[in-house]
Each structure stands twice: as C-alpha cells, then as structure tokens.
Chains A and B, each alone.
Chain A
Amino acid sequence: MGDPTGEPGSSMHGVTGREQSFAFSVASPIVHTDKTAKFDLPVDTEHKATVFKLFSFSKPHMRTFHLSWISFSTCFVSTFAAAPLVPIIRENLNLTKQDIGNAGVASVSGSIFSRLVMGAVCDLLGPRYGCAFLVMLSAPTVFSMSFVSGAAGFITVRFMIGFCLATFVSCQYWMSTMFNSQIIGLVNGTAAGWGNMGGGITQLLMPIVYEIIRRAGASAFTAWRIAFFVPGWLHIIMGILVLTLGQDLPDGNRAALEKSGEVAKDKFGKIMWYAVTNYRTWIFVLLYGYSMGVELSTDNVIAEYFFDRFHLKLHTAGLIAACFGMANFFARPAGGWASDFSAKYFGMRGRLWTLWIIQTAGGLFCVWLGRANTLVTAVVAMVLFSLGAQAACGATFAIVPFVSRRALGIISGLTGAGGNFGSGLTQLIFFSTSHFTTEEGLTWMGVMIVACTFPVTLIHFPQWGSMFLPPSKDPVKSTEEHYYGSEWTEQEKEKNMHQGSLRFAKNAKSEGGRRVRSASTPPDNTPNNV
C-alpha cells in the first residue's frame, strides 16, 4: 500500500488541494508507527508524522509546516506588493499602461525558471537551506525598490523579486520529508493554498502601511518606497526563523541526508522523457495557466481596477482585492475535496468533469466581472470568480498525481511553471496594451479561460475513460498496471524497478468509481500513497 519510504522530492505530487477529504491521519495498518520515537506526533518508521495537527507547533513536524507556509506566503506578499500601490507608483515613475503591464508580466516570469532550478537546489542543500537561501537572497531585491526611478528599473526589480516564488518548491519538498505520504496530499494542499493567500494579504497590508507612513509625514512618492521595507524585513525574519528553528529531517539536519545520498535513484533523462511525451502533461500545463495563471494575473490588476473604475480610496480597493487572494484559504482545499467526492462515485471521470465545471464556471464569472458596472455586482462576480479559479487549482492537482507515477515530480513542476507562463501571457495580451481597457481585458480573459479549459475533454485514461468516453474494453490496456507499467522498459521491469508504480497502480484502482470500489474490499483505498 504505497511507498512509505517516499524519498524527498518523490512526493512532489502532493500539491493537491486535498486528496482524501478526511485524511487527517493515516489509518492504514501497513504503515508501521514507530512507538519508540519521542515525538509529539505519532510517526512512521522514517519518523515522518502520520497525523496533521493544524494548530500545533510541535517540533519538528508542525513547526516545519508553519515555517514553510509562512515563508512561501511572505514571498507572495513581496511579489505582489507593488500591485495595490500602482496608483501611486505610476505617478511617481511616470509609467504608461504598457509599463505597468510589462512589470506585471515580469513579476511572474522569473519564477518559471527559478522553480525548475529549486528542485535541484533542494536536492543539493536540503529544503531548509533552499528556502532560507532564496528568502534571504531575495530580500535585497525587495529593498532595491527604493532606488527605482523609472519604468525600466521598476520592471527589473519586479522581475527579480518574482524569483522568490520558487519557495513553492522548497515548501512542498520540505513537507514531504516531514509527513507520511498518505496525508501529504492534504498537508501540501493546505500549505500551497495558505501560501497563495499572501497574494491577498499584500493587497490589504501595503495600502495600510503606506497610509501609516504618509500620516507620519512622508510625501507620497517616498512613502511607497518605505512601505517596501516591510516585506523586505519579513524576508529576513522568516529566513532567520527557518535557519534557527527549522530542520531538514525529523531526526536532525543534513548530516543524516548524506546516508540517503542515493537521491537520484532514477535517471533524470528518462523521467523527463516520460513527462514530456505524455500528452496529458501539456494539457495540464495549459489548464493550470488558466486557473493559477489567471489568479496571479488578477492579483496584479484587480486593486488598480477597483481604484480606477469605481473611484475608491486606495485602501478600500486594497480590501476588495484582498478578498480575491484570501479566498484561497478554503477555496483551493475545497476544490480538491470536490474532486475526491466526485471520484467516490464516478472515479476519474468524475474528477475530470468536476475540474471542467469548476474552471469553466470561474471563467464565466470572470466575464461577468469584466462586464459588471456597479461596485456591488463587481465584488460579487470577483468573489465567485476567485472561488472558481482557486478551486480549479485544487482540482487540477487532484488529478495530476495520476498522470504518471514515474515522472510525477517533473510533471508537477511543469504544471506549476505553466501557471506562471499562462499568467505572463495573459497579462501581456490583455493588460499591457492600450488596445483593451481593463474591463475588456477581464472579459476576454474570462472567455479565454472557458476556451482553454475545453481540452479537459481530451484527457483520456485507457483504464478509466474520459469525460465523454468510457474506459477501454481491451483486457490488457484497460488495467492500471498496464498504464503505469508502460513507463518502464522491459529491461527495467526485469530489474524490478517498477515495483513502486505497480503498488501505486493497485491503489489507483479506486479511480474506477463506485462499481470498482464496491467490487474490491481493501481497507484503505487512498490514492495518495505515492
């Protein structure tokens, strides 16, 4: 039942909103709890926690969780810190609409690359240093807002700050060293959702900080620069906390990692091949660009939009914009939960329909947002849009773990990068030119979401079917073993390298839906046993 020795990095899949709705603890009898270990939480034989206690700070597991999501959230705060202050910054730096749009694109582009590199960094230095390095080395980029005097500087600094969003990777990686793979889905999903909330928190925080500094006597064009010191300090504080309070592994720090230096058990080239040649990977890259991607784009434009269109004060616009990002607190996990719920009755086909419905609904609400003419309708539309987009993120990663077992880490990474890429592209087309007003941009973005969600219909699993087609009738191809086994060559199978995939395939049978579940009687058919 799954691979209890989930190596660091192998559980990267667990970026789902929620894989099993009630998986607060591992119920399987096969995961042996280590009763001799002296931890506050019950642990397995690797000393990874088997229970997720949200309100505890117990060392080392829950402490890691909190350090991790807060650092990730801090990076969201600094990456989007400029957005609610744009009405002031644009006057100081004499920006045009194109400049503002380009800066928005730049802010999400940096992390496309940094996220891909971060995996390797975590392998080399461990997630604790990976996180601390990134957070503390990006603090100077946040402080350098004080030097910016024109469009070029603004765009460059936003680009550099954006690199720190790679803490997403260190966050998920670190969780997988601390939590058993059976609950890693919920843990990682909560960490990702709460991290994304930073994009909402910043819309509230920055205008308030700016207001306070102004009242203290600074002029407008200086006050916003001073305001950036706050996220800068948060970087330093979190970096130090991670270094002093965090540890790489349940038993201690890196010294122990030397023993498991067999991190590269599999060949990178092979994994890459299987990731890239699976057409489903690319559909998810596109899809995530229109759920997470539009969330990031909206984080960048929504405060300015409310400020300009409805003549609100800066902090009122910030408050409304904050509601968009803060909905992540429950919306992303809810999406994952909805996916799990539909899988109970309809298996993978249910998951696909759920994803399509939620993401398309989000797109329609986005269209409504662009067309809303009164403040009240705009706010309602925005909230519904946020629920749709963020739940779709959760629902996406409820399916991604099933696309591949062998190449799971890379596919998750590619999907994540696709989110940022989609964000950059959308901001470039709709929000950087004078061709569209912002409300037109939002409307067309909504249309694009609906259009780009359509490819979900093309995702077909021979063993489970797709939205419109039933599973294959071929007796060989319609098994889970065949699908996951096909990622290994005959030579590799002879060496039994594919055992992990076979175990996963057995557990994944629950994605066949209710008729399959009632036919089999295993005690715990949780798919998150990677």
Chain B
Amino acid sequence: KPSREGAGVVLDAGIDKISITWKLSSTGSKKEAEFKTIKVKLCYAPPSQVDRPWRKTHDELFKDKTCPHKIVARPYDKTTQSIDWILERDIPTGTYFVRAYAVDEHDHEVAFGQSTNEAKTTSLFSVQAISGRHKSLDIASVCFSVFSVLALLVFFVNEKRKAKIEQSK
C-alpha cells in the first residue's frame, strides 16, 4: 500500500515510501514445503508496458521482463511479513504493482502473489521518476558551451587581425 492514497496521486521516486505486507494465502499452497526465500519485486503494470518491448511479459519466467526492480528478499517465514520501502532513485516514471515470488533452494520460482488482480487493473500506483537534472550540471554545461564558442571567435578574430597587419606591411 502506498504511503499516500487517493486517486491521481503520484509518488515521487527517492522520497515516497510504499508499505508492503505479505503472508501465505489462506487457501495454502501445495508447494509450501519448497519455499526457501521470498523475493519481493516492483513490477510494471500494462499501461507502462505499451510500446516498450523491453518490459514485455513472457510466459517463460527467465524471459519475462515485467518485474525488474528488486525490493527485498527474505527467508520464508510463516508469519506475516512487512516492509516500508523508499522508492529508489532509479525507478522510472510509470504505473506499478508489487509481486512476491516464492523461490526454492535452487532459486526457481514456485509460487507468487501480487498486489493487483489477475488482469493487473486494480490497486495500481503511479511513480514519478527523478529528472536526473541538476542546477550545477546545467550551469557547467552552459559554461563549457560558451567557452567553446568564445574560444573559436577569439581565434578567428585574432587571426584575421594578424592577417590584416601582415597585408598592410
């Protein structure tokens, strides 16, 4: 659950947190004995996958690119687990949900649960990425650009002046 709720709220990467809680579902699981670790990941919802083949969902798990962002990995515990996670600064802008994969000792995923429904349409939240821009960077950029243009002009004018002096001799 995001720290701020409401329609149209957009979370800021690097600033806002999400609160995640997970436990074994009430219907139980046949493979519970194999659960070794629980890996919680941040996943792209369908709107953020449109026109972006590098985030595509594949049936084959090792090809699947839906959930690239790791949140936390904890050893499996029967009790309810939760974490408050600050959205990291390299999370891109988009719509997301959370998924928890249960992996066995060979690191194979055997089960998972997610914060949204099967069609991935409910309980999605939006994140706004940092821009990556900095005032200091902008200033440095302008300085070097100006230097480049000025240096060129200075050379040019100087040489023209020298040529004129030569010619008048």
B152 neighbours in A (Cβ, 8 Å) = 132-133, 136-137, 239, 243
A229 lies within 8 A of B52 (CB): no
A221 neighbours in B (Cβ, 8 Å) = 89-90, 129-132
B93 neighbours in A (Cβ, 8 Å) = 94
Q: Which of A109-117, A142-150, A167-175, A448-456 contacts B (4 or more CB under 8 A)?
A: A142-150
A341 contacts chain B at the CB level, 8 A cutoff: no
Binding site for A on B (CB under 8 A): 50-54, 89-90, 92-94, 129-134, 137-138, 140-142, 144-145, 147-149, 151-152, 155-156, 159, 163, 166-167
Interface digits, A61-102 against B, CB 8 Å rule (1 contact, 0 not)?
Answer: 000000000000000000000000001001110101110000
A48 contacts chain B at the CB level, 8 A cutoff: no
Q: Which of A6-14, A230-238, A361-369 contacts B (4 or more CB under 8 A)?
A: A230-238
Option from A137, A253, A434 in Cβ contact (under 8 Å) with B53: A434
A518 contacts chain B at the CB level, 8 A cutoff: no
A500 contacts chain B at the CB level, 8 A cutoff: no
Option from B50, B51, B132, B148 in Cβ contact (under 8 Å) with A225: B132
The CA-CA distance from A144 to B142 in the complex, in Å, is 8
The dominant DSSP class at the A interface is helix
The CA-CA distance from A358 to B51 in the complex, in Å, is 36
Binding site for B on A (CB under 8 A): 87, 90-92, 94, 96-98, 129, 132-133, 136-137, 139-140, 143-144, 146-147, 149, 219-222, 224-226, 229, 232-233, 235-236, 239-240, 243, 253-255, 308, 434, 437-438
The CA-CA distance from A514 to B66 in the complex, in Å, is 63
The CA-CA distance from A308 to B65 in the complex, in Å, is 10
A149 lies within 8 A of B131 (CB): yes
16 contacts between A and B (CB under 8 A): A91-B90, A96-B52, A137-B149, A139-B148, A140-B149, A146-B140, A146-B141, A147-B138, A149-B131, A219-B132, A220-B89, A221-B130, A235-B148, A236-B148, A254-B163, A438-B53
The CA-CA distance from A233 to B145 in the complex, in Å, is 10
B151 lies within 8 A of A240 (CB): yes
B133 lies within 8 A of A147 (CB): yes
Q: What is the distance, in angstroms, from A281's C-beta to the closest C-beta of chain B? A: 35
Option from A90, A133, A225, A236 in Cβ contact (under 8 Å) with B144: A236
Option from A94, A97, A308 in Cβ contact (under 8 Å) with B129: A94
The CA-CA distance from A92 to B134 in the complex, in Å, is 14
A149 neighbours in B (Cβ, 8 Å) = 131, 133
